[in-house]
A and B are shown apart, each in its own frame.
Chain A
Amino acid sequence: MIVRRVKVEGKKSLYECLVKLGVSRRDFMKFCSSMCATLALSSSFVPHIAEAIEKKKKPYAVWLEFQSCTGDTESILRASKPSIAQIVLDIISLEYHETIMAGSGYSAEKALEDVVKNQKGKYIAIIEGSIPTKDGGIYCVIDGKTAVDRAKEVCGNAAFTINVGSCACWGGVASAKPNPTGAVGVSELISGIKYVNLPGCPTNVENVTATIVHYLTFGSLPVLDRENRPLFAHGKRVHDNCERRPHFDAGQFVRKWGDEGHRLGWCLYEMGCKGPMAYFNCPTVKWNEGTSYPIQAGHPCIACASNDNWDVYGPVYKRAPHVPGAGFQATADKIGLGVVAGTITAVAAHAFVRSLAGYKSKDKLAKEKTETDKA
């Protein structure tokens, strides 16, 4: 259904399509403002965003799924701001998406081939799920082609690639030890492509939309960190915007599930929360129309948007490890004594994240930096 609509209206701008769908000017401007806020831009950029969306042709995009649970697709289908359920699907001319497209088999593959051939270098490749490399790539085969071959062909010919969800970024859950299928993310498989990582388990639709809106407005990708994640979404720690943070600073910790502290919404650090190490805008953007997010619901953060969160940041319910020299663990119980201790803890947490990140070779970091600069 979506494919058919896109074909009919493929040459129109997004705004024209939205008007046709009954979206009011007011809702449209609300959407532009919310995108501006997500991108951490000044409100003076709202007219620029509106102008870009009004005038620009919808870019072609194809969405490939590999080793995924379709959770990122589910996340996208729940786009809600400003109650435009189709916003992401209409912001781009989505020509191929296995979960929602009408055609299947030959006709589906034909749609993909057409975009790769006719829009070479112009379309956006969106990748969901990891890519298995073991045993000749047999653990994910679509239409007789391995995920490895499909990803290389589709990403290699795209203007740029958006990796949605942690699996597409760096292997995610499939690459957790012992990684039975040799699952990797797109950037590890294909070098030399322009790409954005939008990790999270699942990715957050607000960030996907904002990245595409940024591209439409400025003709470039947003500023990225050294993991190729946009800074607007991954520049701050979960801990920094956590509504339980005052309890952390006051030394009020949940010690046991369902204890008084848990019922009162105290800090989940002692229960294994990785919020102090996780860089994600989860606490501000939230989920399900901005309703809630894991910590608000009473569960520790699992650092789902961090590389190899299952094995590096796990176990989930174990308190974050001791950081030598900074007295992180020693001070955790005494934080109530003063703000100074809290500050030391925060610094230690930051040092911990830096030390986690240290496993990458300098060459790789330098290469990533160059790619980021280029982007």
Chain B
Amino acid sequence: MPKIVVDPVTRIEGHLRIEAMVEGGKIVDAWSSGTMWRGIETIVKGRDPREVWLFVSRICGV
């Protein structure tokens, strides 16, 4: 079964990978993966709650 991989998916914020299985010209199965992680949820643990917005606002700058 032929497999299509699109990585990187462009014109988006972040990093995305799409994999699709093709059978008889039709996509029969597909997967998407976000291929970047920074762990901001871990970084803000234990910090002053008043400044957490400065960290989490940097999850996406778009």
Contacts and interface: CB of A to CB of B under 8 A. Distances in A.
Contacts of A71: 58, 61-62
A47 B40 CA distance: 47
A70 B62 contact: yes
Given A74-B61, A315-B48, A108 B38 contact: no
B51 A176 contact: no
Contact of B7 (A65, A72, A74, A142): A142
Given A178-B42, A202-B61, A144 B7 contact: yes
A172 B40 CA distance: 11
Contact of A143 (B8, B13, B36, B42): B8
B54 interface: yes
B26 interface: no
A350 B37 CA distance: 37
Nearest to A317: B50
Nearest to A165: B61
A180 B61 contact: no
Given A315-B48, A316-B54, A69 B61 contact: yes
Interface stretch (A29-37, A94-102, A152-160, A361-369): A94-102
Interface string A312-330: 0011111000000000000
B36 A140 contact: yes
A140 B12 contact: no
A70 B13 contact: yes
B58 A142 contact: no
B60 to A, nearest CB: 5
A105 B7 contact: yes
Contacts of A221: none
Interface of B: 5-15, 35-40, 42-43, 47-48, 50-51, 54-55, 58-62
17 contacts: A67-B36, A68-B61, A69-B62, A98-B12, A99-B13, A102-B11, A105-B7, A105-B9, A108-B8, A130-B38, A132-B37, A140-B37, A144-B7, A180-B39, A181-B39, A316-B50, A316-B54
